[in-house]
Amino acid sequence: MPLVRLCAIWVMLVCLPAFSAPLYQVYTGAVSAMVSAEAFPGVSDAKGALKVTGIPTGATIKAAYLYTSDWFSTAPLQASFGSKDVGGAAPASTDGQFSSYRWDVTDAINGNGSYDFDLSGGSQIYSVGLAVVYSTPGHPDRTITLMDFSKEVSAPNNYGATAGTPEMNLHVNSPYDGAGTLWLMTNADDPESTGEGIYFNAAQVGGPIDGNLGPHSSLFRLPVQVRSGENRMSLTSQGDWYGWSLAILDAPGAADIPTPEPASFTLALVGLVALALYRRRRS
Ligand SMILES: [Ca+2]
């Protein structure tokens, strides 16, 4: 390998922004999830209301999280939710110009209804989301995995690649194969660049990513076939420049399997990109 080529790959490995590690929160047992979100046109302050629906009588709220993302700023955001001031939050994760935030609002949820929120101090906020995990007596065993993170999906703008297939691995806490549900949230996507694909274990399950929630954000609820052990999902950019901030998987069964090491998918992708570029230049 010529020295210049070796140096180019080294620079790419050093300079590529690392993917932020997903922050896993796993709930098992007779659990279900509900996700809702509201779109905004790139605002610094986001004020609105999110609906909680479908929670049966007798259910117990296990957890609830308020999510948002911001572009071009890592400043703390202030938030209120329901009747509570849930305080300031620094980014839970950052990737390049994209940062994601999370608040635990479990104590503010008391059943179905509409919950006001007010977020301030941002730069370009495109969506605010809510995930609620609840337990219902008699419900079959499931595993709900909440993963929030920051990931710019922007090839060729950010990663220097042309294909743009950022991937991450999910490690599902289930010994079973079966039907599942995958929620995804993206920010700053639009229909001007289209044709993106959402893949789950190599099968395309959704796309394009063209602002289905509002002009510049999307919320997907997709049926997927979960397999035991590791599950992998990926998105393509097709020239769009957007942020991926949230993935939630409802999987069959419940068992204790550790979540993956955070660095594994980072190193895997960087290595694959380097190998692909090297092979292309050799051909
Ligand atoms: Ca698009």
Residue 155 confidence class, pLDDT cut points 50, 70, 90: low
Mean pLDDT for the chain overall: 84
Report, as an integer, the average pLDDT of 256-270.
49
Instruction: In whole angstroms, give the CA distance from residue 234 to residue 195.
Output: 14
> Which residue ranges make up each domain of the chain?
19-266
Is the pLDDT reported for residue 271 higher than 80?
no
What angle is formed at CA 152 by the lines to CA 260 and CA 198, rounded to 5 degrees?
Answer: 70
The DSSP output letter for 214 is B
Q: How confident is the model at residue 46 (pLDDT cuts 50, 70, 90)?
A: very high
pLDDT level of residue 115 (50, 70, 90 thresholds): very high
| Mean pLDDT to the nearest integer, 235-262 | 82
- The candidate with the shortest Cα–Cα distance to 119, out of 47, 54, 172, is 47
Q: Report which of 128, 122, 99 is spatially closest to residue 17, judged by C-alpha positions.
A: 99
Taking the centre of ligand 1 as the mean of its atom positions, its distance from the CA of residue 218, in whole angstroms, is: 10
- Any idea which of 38-42, 118-122, 152-156, 262-266 has the lowest mean pLDDT? 262-266
Higher pLDDT, 2 or 151: 151
* Residue 152: predicted pLDDT: 87
- What residues contact residue 141 under an 8 Å CB cut-off, 6+ apart? 28, 29, 30, 252, 253, 254
CA of 187 to the centre of ligand 1 (A): 10
- The H or E element containing residue 1 is none
| pLDDT (0 to 100) of residue 256 | 65
The CA 228 to ligand 1 mean position distance, Å, reads 31
Per the CB < 8 A criterion, the answer to whether 158 and 152 are in contact is yes
Q: How far apart are CA 167 and CA 189, in angstroms?
A: 17
Q: In this predicted model, what pLDDT tens digit does every residue of 74-97 receive, in sequence order?
A: 999 999 999 899 999 999 999 889
Q: How far is the CA of 22 from the centre of ligand 1 (A)?
A: 23
Dist. CA 195 → ligand 1 center (Å): 7
CA of residue 86 to ligand 1 center, whole Å: 33
- Which tokens go with 172? 């599902």
Answer yes or no: is pLDDT of 138 > 50.
yes
Over the range 105-125, which residues count as b (16 or more CB within 10 Å of their CB) and which as e?
Answer: beebbeeeeebebebebbbbb
What is the side-by-side strand order in the sheet with 84-89? 46-52, 113-120, 77-81, 84-89
Confidence band for 134, pLDDT divided at 50, 70 and 90: very high
Q: What is the mean pLDDT of residues 152-158?
A: 68
For residue 192, report the distance from its CA to the centre of ligand 1, in Å: 6
Q: What percent of the chain has pLDDT over 70?
A: 79
* pLDDT value for 171: 80
Rounded to the nearest angstrom, the distance between the alpha carbon of 30 and the centre of ligand 1 is 36
Give the angle subtended at the CA of 38 by the CAs of 34 and 39, to the nearest 5°: 140
Ligand 1 center to 256 CA (angstroms): 37
The CA 217 to ligand 1 mean position distance, Å, reads 10
Q: Is the pLDDT of residue 232 over 60?
A: yes
Residue 255 has pLDDT above 80, yes or no: no
Task: Give the number of other CB atoms < 10 A from CB of residue 283.
Answer: 5
Spacing, Cα 221 to ligand 1 middle (Å): 17
Whether 157 shows a pLDDT value over 90: the answer reads: no
CA of 189 to the centre of ligand 1 (A): 5
Beta strand segments in 53-210, E: 60-71, 77-81, 84-89, 93-95, 98-104, 113-120, 125-135, 142-153, 167-172, 178-187, 198-200, 203-206
